[in-house]
């Protein structure tokens, strides 16, 4: 864990410390406080993730051409647009600000991942991405814990949203001293891989892009389970479920990154497929009017799956894409997920209005399908020798 890895990881910690609180509040603020329909929340996520796919791809392309560090900082600077949601009483303006901040977040994600790859070795890459995810999501978990205290104390959502600007500013400041190591590496001549290895890498890359997009169709915002639990019990329990989700995800990312597992099999089975199982539990819990505890089990499984996905996806990309096109590879990964989420949240929003059972059932089926595709298309990829 060198200096740059720590700076990038703690920047991620403070970023999530800021905007994960916004994610926990936003569905309740939009639907309950501003009296918008649940479908408006689905629309908000569709706009944020759909157009965000373009910004994610653009961020990767620009970072390959110019600088990982500068592009990451530029994107980070505009994430606080999400915090300004607290100043509006208009659902349309709230959705616009939320989406704009998320576009900025997507723009900086590929260069930040590339910046991290340049600061580590192949041997430690899975562990480093797991560490990044642990701090990333750990910041979100702490954010939700503090959020619960503030909500219990009667602090208005609008004031809490504005306070999130502080950790987001710290996140940007931590990126300033980092070194853009990949900037020099991009000028070197790439090493030509064997033809068979090139074919396997291309197929694996296509598989992960396709699977990530398909998984995006099922990767609904956790705002839907938050709404389900809040409507079944209280706002506090709804928000607290997000803390469980983030906490399990953070621990999983740190743990799974150090394990000697095949990345492709782990991603397909413990990531995509297990996420489908977690969503199926939410569907069954709603169908049989189970206790909130059962819904929490589904949320915890979703958190575990997310920890695996966020650790293994970028790690695989870092192996199958050359150093000079790493930003584009990371950008394509971000964009493919966002394209799926664009449609996924629209579908989830419409189905949720009809019945939460329909929306969760749909998401479970599609997520399992993504796991099957990844398992088949990445079957030739071997990463054991990278450890």
Q: pLDDT of 291-339, one tens digit each? A: 888 889 988 998 898 888 888 888 888 777 766 677 778 887 777 777 7
pLDDT classification of 105: cutoffs 50, 70, 90? very high
pLDDT classification of 97: cutoffs 50, 70, 90? very high
Higher pLDDT, 378 or 116: 116
Higher pLDDT, 15 or 380: 15
Report how far Cα 139 is from the mean position of its chain's Cα atoms: 13
In this prediction, residues 251-269 reach a mean pLDDT of: 81
pLDDT above 70 for 222 = no
In terms of C-beta density within 10 A (0-12 exposed, 13-18 middle, 19 or more buried), how is residue 211 classed? buried
CB-based contacts of 315, cutoff 8 Å, min separation 6: 125, 126, 129, 257, 263
Select from 363, 181, 192, 343 the least CA-distant residue to 280. 363
CA distances from 341 to 46, 278, 298, 316 (A): 7, 18, 20, 21
What's the CA gap between 7 and 12, in Å, rounded? 9
Select from 384, 385, 370, 386 the least CA-distant residue to 208. 370
In terms of C-beta density within 10 A (0-12 exposed, 13-18 middle, 19 or more buried), how is residue 75 classed? buried
pLDDT above 50 for 29 = yes
pLDDT above 90 for 249 = no
pLDDT classification of 372: cutoffs 50, 70, 90? confident
pLDDT classification of 194: cutoffs 50, 70, 90? low
Our CA angle for 372, 338, 5, nearest 5°, is 90
Q: What is the pLDDT of residue 238?
A: 79
pLDDT classification of 191: cutoffs 50, 70, 90? very low
Least confident of 85-94, 126-135, 327-336, 343-352: 343-352
What's the CA gap between 200 and 223, in Å, rounded? 37
Task: Give the H or E element holding residue 88.
Answer: none
What is the domain class of 3-174+195-386 according to CATH?
mainly alpha
Q: What is the pLDDT of residue 179?
A: 84
Tokens encoding 42: 């689905």
Q: What is the CA radius of gyration of the chain?
A: 20
pLDDT classification of 384: cutoffs 50, 70, 90? very low
Q: What is the pLDDT of residue 230?
A: 79
Our CA angle for 240, 243, 245, nearest 5°, is 115
In this prediction, residues 262-289 reach a mean pLDDT of: 86
Least confident of 6-15, 85-94, 202-211, 291-300: 202-211
Select from 15, 298, 272, 4 the least CA-distant residue to 133. 15
pLDDT above 70 for 139 = yes
What's the CA gap between 221 and 31, in Å, rounded? 14
Q: Domain coordinates of the chain in residue numbers?
A: 3-174+195-386
DSSP secondary structure letters along 62-82 = HHHHS-HHHHHHHHHHHGGGG
Q: Percentage of the chain surpassing pLDDT 70? A: 87
- Which backbone phi and psi does 115 adopt, to 5 degrees? -60, -40
């Amino acid at each position: 864990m060198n200096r740059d890895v720590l700076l990038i990881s703690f920047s991620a910690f403070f970023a999530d410390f800021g905007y994960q609180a916004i994610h926990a509040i936003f569905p309740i603020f939009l639907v309950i406080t501003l009296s918008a329909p649940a479908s408006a929340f689905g629309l908000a996520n569709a706009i944020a993730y759909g157009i965000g796919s373009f910004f994610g791809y653009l961020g990767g392309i620009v970072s390959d051409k110019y600088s990982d560090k500068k592009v990451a900082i530029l994107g980070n600077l505009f994430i606080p647009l999400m915090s300004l949601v607290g100043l509006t009483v208009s659902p349309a303006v709230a959705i616009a600000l939320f989406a704009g901040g998320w576009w900025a977040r997507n723009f900086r994600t590929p260069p930040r991942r590339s910046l991290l790859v340049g600061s580590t070795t192949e041997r430690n890459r899975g562990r480093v991405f797991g560490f990044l995810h642990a701090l990333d999501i750990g910041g979100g978990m702490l954010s939700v814990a503090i959020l619960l205290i503030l909500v219990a104390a009667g602090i208005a959502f609008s004031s809490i949203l504005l306070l999130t600007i502080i950790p987001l500013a710290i996140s940007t400041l931590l990126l300033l001293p980092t070194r853009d190591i990949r900037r020099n590496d991009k000028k070197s001549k790439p090493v030509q891989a064997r033809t068979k290895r090139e074919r396997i890498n291309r197929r694996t890359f296509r598989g992960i892009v396709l699977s990530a997009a398909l998984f995006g169709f099922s990767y609904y915002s956790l705002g839907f389970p938050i709404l389900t639990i809040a409507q079944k019990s209280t706002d506090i329990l709804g928000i607290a479920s997000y803390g469980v989700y983030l906490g399990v995800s953070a621990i999983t990312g740190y743990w799974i990154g150090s394990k000697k597992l095949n990345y492709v099999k782990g991603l397909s089975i413990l990531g995509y497929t297990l996420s489908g199982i977690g969503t199926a539990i939410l569907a069954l819990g709603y169908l049989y009017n189970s206790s909130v505890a059962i819904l929490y089990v589904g949320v915890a499984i979703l958190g575990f799956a997310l920890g695996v996905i966020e650790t293994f996806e970028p790690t695989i990309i870092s192996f199958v894409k050359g150093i000079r096109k790493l930003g584009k590879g990371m950008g394509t990964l971000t964009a493919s997920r966002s394209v799926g989420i664009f449609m996924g949240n629209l579908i989830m929003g419409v189905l949720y209005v009809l019945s939460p059972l329909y929306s969760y059932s749909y998401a479970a089926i599609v997520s399992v399908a993504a796991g099957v595709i990844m398992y088949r298309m990445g079957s030739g990829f071997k990463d054991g020798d990278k450890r």
